[in-house]
Chains A and B, each alone.
Chain A
Amino acid sequence: MFIAVLLPLLFACLVPLLSKWKNAIHTGWFVLLIPSAIFVYLVRFVGQDFSPIRNTYPWIPSLNIQLDFYLDGLSLLFGLLISGIGALVVFYSIYYLHKSEQLGHFYVYLLMFMAAMFGVVFSDNIFVLYTFWELTSLSSFLLIGYWNHRKGSRYGALKSMLITVFGGLSLLGAFVLLSVVADTTSIQAMLDQKEMILNSPLFGWIVAFLFLGAFTKSAQFPFHIWLPDAMEAPTPVSAYLHSATMVKAGIFLIARFSILLSQTEWYFFVVTGIGLITLCWGSFMAVRQTDLKGILAYSTISQLGMIMAMLGFGTKIALFAAIFHILNHATFKGSLFMVAGIVDHETGTRDIRKLGGLMTWMPITATLALFGTFSMAGVPLPILNGFYSKELFFDSAIHLDSFSGWIEALKMAAPYLAVLGSIFTFVYSMYLFFGTFRGKANVEELPKKPHEAPIGMLIPPIILVALVVIIGLFPNLFAESFLNHAASAVKGAEIEKHVKFWHGFKTPLYMSLAVVGLGTLLYLTRHKWTGIYRVFPGSLTFNRVYDWMVDRSEKYSSVITNSYMNGSIRRYVRLTLAAMTIGTFIFLFTTNGLSFTGTSTAEITLPELFIVAMMIFAAVATIFTNNRIAAILILGVVGYGLAILFVMYRAPDLALTQLIIETVTVALFLLVFMHLPELRKRTESVGTKLTNAIISIGFGAMITLVGISSFNSKWFDPISDYFLETSKELGGGKNVVNVILVDMRGLDTLFEIAVLGIAALAIFGLVKIRRNDKEAK
């Protein structure tokens, strides 16, 4: 199974080389080998009464993440679908995509997607599963946006990406919680110890996140909106991803974990409830579409809802029906997408309002569509597989387990909702077939003159329709060989199910007849009632919600960013300082950091007080003066005052340096000031002045408080005694400050010299290099 995952990826690396010769031979022929080979490999397991096979390869052993692959009935079914339909889709795409397209890109994305899907269905390790899950989102994004020059493609790709990645991240949350609770990363090991997970307080979160992941991927209500927009992808992609494989990944996930999840009644309520809503809403909306692929997209949504509902039912017959329908849906929906692609390819439009009467022009395509649509509608004929799964669906909907309380109400409603959804399914299926292939042909208005498709394009849908018929004729052949295994894997108990065409005159049959009868009636009178679509779904679509959310999130984030990032440095400084002040004050008061013991302070003397008063006066004066020379000189007063303080506090080197530096600085200021504009009177509003005053006073007060309290809480003696003792002995100097600077902490000095050097060079550069002068003037 490792090969199945790895082979498409490895081959994807070769595709760019092969696509160089695409004019000689279509790249798809090479690619076709891969899914075919994997299909043959997997087919060997069909019919065997095999026990699950497990392969493990180390990946990140320290995090307990192994490439752990597991093949049981369920993953075999999905593996067969992915490889089988994959091969047909590749074959179809050879005829669908012209050699002038960027084939290399297409097949690389497709192979990436294939590998990712194999990874999803075969993984037993949740984190490996998650990795492949995101890879499917990513490759599906690339495939939807394949014609990236189209706006619709980009919109659809982005939408599906946002929604499925949102779900994917929820899934990651569920997986992380699961691995924490179960203390293992293997799915099978989790299912074995389901009691522990069930009793965990985190179980609710796990279920919620898991459901979000599965429902977004499988386009369940209300996350279904990405699927119709994903129809911008090339038709082979729609057939493969959006009918047979990727959209069933969520179904697969629910099925895989259903042993664990179905222990609660909430599972029934949520999964069945969402599934039935999706079924009804999807089929209802499908009737409204005018685009062939749009109808098929909503039809896929509704059929996925039906499968989801059956998984929610959870009875043996329902699980078998779900598995059966996964296979059936893949066959008829795949063929219908291909038919839609053929119609598009041969007439130039997919708009059902322009199409009609194509039966005489395209008899083979019409026949294929007939089987596909009738199977989808569940018309009671023994050669259509859709009928069986629909019959089983009705059967399971009326034989539900009993539940407690008001959840029972959903059980009572389930059969009616099932019939309702199926009626609309019947209507859009009929509409799809008769609208396209019957009626008046207006060939002149079509962009191309219609004709039958090339045989290569017809072979894949013929094979799929043949499967529809074969499953229809011999359902038990498939049921016994691998569907029972798959259903057993979902249930965790043996399921032996035989499918019969004729159940006798029982309720499911009457339900089917009701669907056909009411569906026909509704289809024939559709012109009378389609008016209701104009009345309400327009404002009810979730597309509008999505667009609104995307629009608003962009708008509000830019509003928020612009509200504080206004380009004014003064504002940023203000915000930074205010935050520092408030943070420090909060910290001071919440941790009892303030302390005023007042002990061991030095004595206050009059000369010092005089200097301090002078400095305070000068510092305050810098604010009020409007004369630049005065401002510079006053600043000098502060500096010289500081130098005098250094003298008083026994710091001769400091005093010396401070004096020199202050002199040089003042000189520099005076040098530059000739070139600086005159200080202007401040023209600020009182409010701004007040804010500035509050911020600066707050910050100053904070500094004072921090200074006083830290001075009053000395925790240990300074290490300076060591410097004083060893200065002569080790450093060979009597001036301790200088010994510290050049000997004990010489590295500081080295880089301080570097700072000065850099400053000098920068000043030189600023003064000398004037490249921008011309641009500036």
Chain B
Amino acid sequence: MEIVTSVLAGILFTTGIYNLLQKQMLRIIIGTALISHGAHLFILTMGKLKTGAPPILVEGIKEYTDPLPQALILTSIVISFGVTSLLLVLAYRASQINESDNMDELRGNENE
């Protein structure tokens, strides 16, 4: 199964990066969201999938899944949420002020 999820993570990265390389800001943000999904899945896969109960201690159960990657992913989800929301508002403001959301038009002044 880990191989399947690795492939899935790879595909999430592929589509995420393809979106990232587009001109429109909205697509870029969709791309970053896909990439963070891929990264979370990647971390989870690396911590081994499914070898026991959820990491909530119950009497009598010896086998639990690895709690550490889960804690890491939880942190990461929150951070990527913060970044994504900031990016969204930034894209909104940038397209509003510049009247464009095309990355090729949004260049530094010195190159025009």
B18, B91, B98: residue with the most chain A Cβ atoms closer than 10 Å: B18
Write the A695-712 contact mask toward B (1 if CB under 8 angstroms, else 0).
Answer: 111011111100110110
Interface pair B2/A776, CB less than 8 Å apart: no
Contact A604 B56, CB 8 Å, known A570-B104, A692-B18: no
Interface pair B44/A763, CB less than 8 Å apart: no
| Least distance between A280 CB and chain B CB atoms (Å) | 50
Give Cα A566–Cα B83 distance, bound, in whole angstroms: 27
Interface pair B17/A696, CB less than 8 Å apart: yes
Interface pair A664/B81, CB less than 8 Å apart: yes
Return the contact of B92 from the options A598, A672, A682 (Cβ within 8 A): A672
Total residues of chain A contacting the partner, CB 8 A: 100
Name B83's closest neighbour in chain A (CB-CB). A759
Please name all residues of chain B whose beta carbon is closer than 8 Å to the beta carbon of A724 when the two chains form the complex.
55, 57, 64, 67
Give Cα A280–Cα B14 distance, bound, in whole angstroms: 69
Interface pair A756/B82, CB less than 8 Å apart: yes
Please name all residues of chain B whose beta carbon is closer than 8 Å to the beta carbon of A657 when the two chains form the complex.
74, 77-78
Please name all residues of chain B whose beta carbon is closer than 8 Å to the beta carbon of A695 when the two chains form the complex.
17, 21
Return the contact of B96 from the options A601, A675, A727 (Cβ within 8 A): A675
Question: From residue 20 to 78 of chain B, which have CB atoms closer than 8 A to chain A?
Answer: 20-27, 29-30, 33-34, 37-38, 40-42, 44-58, 64-68, 70-71, 73-75, 77-78
| Least distance between A612 CB and chain B CB atoms (Å) | 5
Write the A672-703 contact mask toward B (1 if CB under 8 angstroms, else 0).
Answer: 11011101101010000000110111011111
Give Cα A665–Cα B6 distance, bound, in whole angstroms: 25
Q: Which of A52-60, A331-339, A583-591, A728-736 contacts B (4 or more CB under 8 A)?
A: A728-736
Return the contact of B11 from the options A619, A741, A756, A758 (Cβ within 8 A): A619
| Least distance between A692 CB and chain B CB atoms (Å) | 4
Interface size class of B (residues with CB under 8 A): 35 or more
Please name all residues of chain A whose beta carbon is closer than 8 Å to the beta carbon of B25 when the two chains form the complex.
676
Return the contact of A568 from the options B11, B34, B107 (Cβ within 8 A): B107
The reply to whether the CB of A342 lies closer than 8 angstroms to some CB of chain B is: no
The reply to whether the CB of A669 lies closer than 8 angstroms to some CB of chain B is: yes
Give Cα A755–Cα B86 distance, bound, in whole angstroms: 11
Name A711's closest neighbour in chain B (CB-CB). B2
Interface pair B26/A679, CB less than 8 Å apart: yes
The reply to whether the CB of A150 lies closer than 8 angstroms to some CB of chain B is: no
Give Cα A653–Cα B78 distance, bound, in whole angstroms: 12
Name B6's closest neighbour in chain A (CB-CB). A707
Please name all residues of chain A whose beta carbon is closer than 8 Å to the beta carbon of B4 when the two chains form the complex.
604, 608-609, 612
Give Cα A745–Cα B79 distance, bound, in whole angstroms: 16
Give Cα A337–Cα B54 distance, bound, in whole angstroms: 93
Interface pair A619/B71, CB less than 8 Å apart: no
Interface pair B34/A622, CB less than 8 Å apart: yes
Interface pair A682/B22, CB less than 8 Å apart: yes
Name B93's closest neighbour in chain A (CB-CB). A766
Interface pair A675/B74, CB less than 8 Å apart: no
Q: Give 5 CB contacts A-B under 8 Å.
A: A567-B108, A601-B2, A635-B33, A696-B20, A700-B14
Closest 5 CB pairs of A and B: A700-B14, A704-B10, A567-B111, A759-B82, A707-B6
What would 5 more interface pairs be, CB under 8 Å, given A615-B8, A772-B97? A567-B108, A612-B5, A631-B30, A639-B33, A776-B97
